[in-house]
Structures are given as C-alpha cells and as structure tokens.
A and B are shown apart, each in its own frame.
Chain A
Amino acid sequence: MNNKDLLNLIDITVSFEGFLALNKLNLNLKKGELRAVIGPNGAGKTTFLDVITGKVKPTNGEVIFKGKSLVGRKEHKIARLGVGRKFQSPRIFENLTVKENLEISVTTPKSPLNLINKSIKDEQLHEIDRLMKIVNLAQKVDSKAGSLSHGQKQWLEIAMLVGQKPDLMLVDEPVAGLTDEETDLTADLLKSLSGENTVVVIDHDMEFIRRLDSNVSVLNQGTVLCEGTMETIQKDKKVIDVYLGRPED
C-alpha cells in the first residue's frame, strides 16, 4: 500500500454459507487509473463490486478507500465518500425523464431538506447539459428514460455515474447488448474519463477490454489470478488455462 493508492482491497474473503465467493482477494488501484477486471462466470466479479459499494459485508479483510475503511459503512455513505457504480443491466429510473434522472445524480447535498426546499443550482443544470451532450441524449431531455433504447439507457446510466462526480467509478459490463459502434464509443468515453477519475471496468468482451488499453486483473475463483497489460495476461499460462482457452496447436 502506498499513498498514491485510491483503493486497497486487503485479503477480502466473502463466504456465502461456506461458499467462498471471494477468497483472500488483494487489489490496489492508483489514482487516475483505468483498470479492467475480467474473469469467467462465477469468478466473483460482481461480488467484488458489492464489497466495495457496501452491498455485501466481507467475512474477512479490509477495504481502504482514500485512507478510510469502508467495511461496515452503509451504501449511501460509501456513495457520498466518492464511490459510484454502474450496474450490469441498465438501472435507471424508467418513470422519470432523462433530465430528472440526471438531476438525481448531480444533486448535492443529497438531503431531503435540500431537495424539497431549494431549486436546483445553476451549475448543476450546466453539468446536466454537459453530460447530455457527452452521451448524445440532448434531444431526449424530456423523454421518459423507459422509452430509450438499450444503448441509450446504458449511456444514461454512465452519465448518471459521471454526474455523481465519484473519485472511483465501478462500471459493470457497460457494453452488454450494445452494437459494435456503440461499444467503441463507450470504450473511448471510459478512456477519456480515466486520468481525472479512477475507473474500474468489469467485462468479458475481449475486444472491448483490448480497446480500453489498460491494466487488466484476471479474477478466478474469488481471487486475483494475474495482473498486467493485455499482452502479458494473454501470454500467462494460468490465464490461458482457466479463461482464454489454449490456442489450437
């Protein structure tokens, strides 16, 4: 662990009635890093996000974020500390408009009193405009989020994530169900976000991960199997065995 790290997961173990979803997982993230996490089904990718965001309490181990322990904190407190999450299938508020969805995400402070008493700040409205332009939803401001196409929903959720201004963005399968073109745009968007933000992307679309051009952590059976660039891990024997499959001889 060193001071430049934004997040340290130390020996995280999650046991669901004896089944080890995560097993002594260690992972460190530097500030501004873009990190891809891959692994076969059941490797513990989503549980790994659940632990960071407070949805699942680890049986053992520590999560240190910006020098503070996250273990035992409530989800909304962790979110306010600066951890944002995008879910696997788009989780947006379908009965609200695109703008209302983004309002929810950019509003601070997130207290009832602020929401009921005051109108939204101008700078937050500008932020919403900016976000809608980034994700090409400016035409859809007042459409119900439920009427958007799948790809637009994915992007709206990414925009909501960015609007939260988190220090750490956890993005779970952002390109599931997207067209190739949309996938490329999403990869570029995520790349442009890193640097200022720290981004963790979980996916198993290899083309997409390659396009991210980032460090990759491979999870298997609840633990980190291997870390490195795409090139390194593709050559790693253990990874080939469990995940990529042996190239045909």
Chain B
Amino acid sequence: MSLNKIKFDKKIVLSFWIILIALIIAAPTILPVFRLNLLGRYLSLSIVALGVDLIWGYTGLLSLGQGIFFALGGYCAAMYLQITSSSEFPNNIPEFFALYGVEKLPFFWEPFRSPFFTFFAIWIIPALVAGLIGFLVFRNRIKGVYFSILTQASLLVFFNFFNGQQKLINGTNGLKTDVTQLFGQMVGSESMQRIFFWITAILVIAAWFFAKWVVKGRFGNILIGIRDDEPRVRFTGYNPVIFKTIIFSIAGGLAGISGALYTVQSGIVSPQFMTVPFSIEMVIWVAVGGRGTLLGAILGAVFINYAKSLVSEALPASWMFIQGGLFILVVTALPEGVLGWIQGDGPRNLLQRFGLKRKIETYPSLEVNNKEGNNE
C-alpha cells in the first residue's frame, strides 16, 4: 500500500513510541495550563480528522457534514454533565430550562442521567445517524459532488434545527460544561483538564490503531477499490453500499468521540460546531496532512490548529488568508499532502531540482534500495 513506503527500523519505531509516551506524560508539567488545554482540544480534533481520512482518503467520499456527528457527540456528553449537576436548580433540571419556562425535563434527556448510557451514546448515536444518512444516500448511488452537497445540506438542516430549539437544548446558546461536576470535581478545573488531556491522548492513539486495523488487509483494499473504480468492485461481486455505509458510520462514531472530548475541554457545545466552515476545515486538515495516510490526518489537525491559535494571537485578522493559502498550496503543489509528499520521495526530488542530489537514472527501487536488493 502507498502508506508505508518508508519502512522504519524497529528500534526507531520503539524509540518514537517511548518519546511520544514520555511527552504525553510530561506535557501537563511542561506546558502552561492554557497551552495544555489547547493541545488537548486539537488532539481531540485529530480523531474527527481520522474519520475524514477513512471516508475521503481511502473511500473517496468527500463529506462536508462531519460537524453533525461531531456536535452530536458533544451534545451527548454535555447533556449528561448538565443533568448530573442540576440538583440545586429549580425542578432539578438544568438551569437554562427555567429561562424558557420549561418545568419538565424533555423525554430524550432522561437516559442521559446514566453515565453508562452516555458512554455508549457518545459514539453509537453519531454512528447510527451517519449509518442511516449514509445508507439512504449510497443506496441511491449518489456520488461525488452530489454526495458532498448533500452532506453539507444535511449539516445545515441539523444546524438550523439545533439553533432553534431553545426549549429542548438551549438553542443557539448551547450547553455549557465547564461549571458542571463530574465525579465530584468541576469539569473546568485544572486537575480535570489534565485528566481529559491524558484521556484524549490515549484515545487518539487508540483511534489511530483502530483506523489502521480497519484499512489494513482486504477490507481496506475494497475501500480503495471503491474510491478508484466502484463499478469494478460491484462486478466483482461486492456490494459497495454496505462497505460505504460501514465506513461512513465508523467515521461518524469517531467524530462523536472527538466532539465529546472537544466539548469537555472547551467548556461548551453549541450549534457553532455545525457551521459550514468548521466541517470544511476538517477536510483541509486532512488534505494538508496527507490523504490516505492516517498519521497525516492527526498531524494536520494538530499542527494547523496550533498554527491557527499562534497566528491569531499575533495577527488576529490574517489566519483565514493563511489557511486559504495553505489549502491552495497543497492542492496545487502537494496533492498528496505533506506526509504523502514526504513518503512519495518529494524531498529527494526537490533536492535534485536544486542540484543538491544526484538524479536517479533508472527506477528508484533499483538504485535507492540497491543494498536491500543485493541481500535478497
């Protein structure tokens, strides 16, 4: 597969993991709380980016509506936190209900009293919604641009619905989580944020391994087959609808987990998670990092967002231009994304262009890997 062109030494891989784990453990002491919290948020965004890479990078489904599933996960987490922290408010229901004269908890809030239910709801509800939308769309053989437009339209439908439902979920104001309690501690507190950071870091790694497991082997090859030539997959006896529904559903579940982690670390979930630009940004992270590389999606999400906050602090108005420029650069010069460029011998070709490295005369596999070839 194109992903692992560079075969790393086992020792390098091992030391990479040791450094990574050390960094994760040390991060809360090295970084100031503010920076740590930002890093935690961006790491949680990398989980939704992994989902985008699975559906877009591997399967060729460009969804502009991942914000739906991201927000659903966030709402699930926030509803639980709000309801378990509402004992001192009137009628023992979250405070905002009083503003709209609601006295009885809407029925769909009830199950979120249970932490057990919430734990599963965070990823199963988005996965089910994604599966349902996906199945209906894929069954009707809606593809390409039409699929993208449809997902964006769905996003707008969800956005408008959530925005307008003050009496159900506090509408445009969203649900705050930072002043709620979890296991007797304030969610927004420093110690809780540190724990959320670790949970996020672990889940990013887990999600990465999960995604790798999904795309390795024949299942992943069918996804690539669907991306490159769907009718051929059909005529070979596979039903692409099922495969696409499954992967879209997986991406939805990942988005839900991502949204929940992002919510508890940013302190609020609101319909702003379902705005059109945000879902497009998710695609940009993956495009810049490298489609179909998985690791590129994670790096893209973290680095672009970190750059965004650094640039915005220094030059508040310029980030949108930089982001747009970055996207244009990637589309025109690095269609495989940064990681794809590195894996595809991009750096060597660049050095050759400046005359800093000898050109290869035949095939790279013959010359560069010559040593390997002799051993065999």
B-contacting residues of A (Cβ < 8 Å)?
A: 53, 55, 74-76, 79-80, 84-85, 87, 91-96, 100, 103-105, 107, 110-112, 115-116, 119-120, 160, 164
Q: Considering only CB atoms and an 8 Å cut-off, how many residues of chain B contact the other chain?
A: 25
- Contact partner of A104 (CB less than 8 A), chosen from B214, B225, B234, B239, is B225
Say yes or no: is B229 at the interface (Cβ < 8 Å to chain A). yes
* Contact in complex: A93, B232 (CB < 8 Å): yes
Query: Smallest Cβ distance from B7 to chain A, in angstroms?
Result: 13
Query: Smallest Cβ distance from B145 to chain A, in angstroms?
Result: 22
Q: Which residues from B are CB-within-8-Å of A75?
A: 231, 234-235
Say yes or no: is B18 at the interface (Cβ < 8 Å to chain A). no
Q: Which residues from B are CB-within-8-Å of A93?
A: 221, 224-225, 228-229, 232
Say yes or no: is B375 at the interface (Cβ < 8 Å to chain A). no
Say yes or no: is B246 at the interface (Cβ < 8 Å to chain A). yes
- Contact partner of B218 (CB less than 8 A), chosen from A103, A160, A164, is A103
Say yes or no: is B242 at the interface (Cβ < 8 Å to chain A). yes
Q: Which residues from A are CB-within-8-Å of B225?
A: 93, 96, 104
* Contact in complex: B219, A116 (CB < 8 Å): yes
The number of inter-chain residue pairs (CB within 8 angstroms) is 76
Query: Smallest Cβ distance from A62 to chain B, in angstroms?
Result: 21
* Residue in A closest to B232 when the chains form the complex, CB atoms: A91
* Contact in complex: B214, A116 (CB < 8 Å): yes
* Contact in complex: A160, B219 (CB < 8 Å): no
SS class, residues of chain B in contact with chain A: helix
* Residue in A closest to B216 when the chains form the complex, CB atoms: A116
Say yes or no: is B4 at the interface (Cβ < 8 Å to chain A). no
User: 7 tightest CB-CB pairs across the interface, nearest first?
Assistant: A79-B237, A75-B234, A115-B219, A116-B219, A115-B218, A80-B237, A76-B239
Say yes or no: is B374 at the interface (Cβ < 8 Å to chain A). no
* Contact in complex: B217, A79 (CB < 8 Å): no
* Residue in B closest to A157 when the chains form the complex, CB atoms: B232
A93-B225, A119-B217 given; A164·B232 CB < 8 A: no
Q: Which residues from B are CB-within-8-Å of A119?
A: 217
* Contact in complex: A115, B222 (CB < 8 Å): yes
Q: Which residues from B are CB-within-8-Å of A115?
A: 217-219, 222
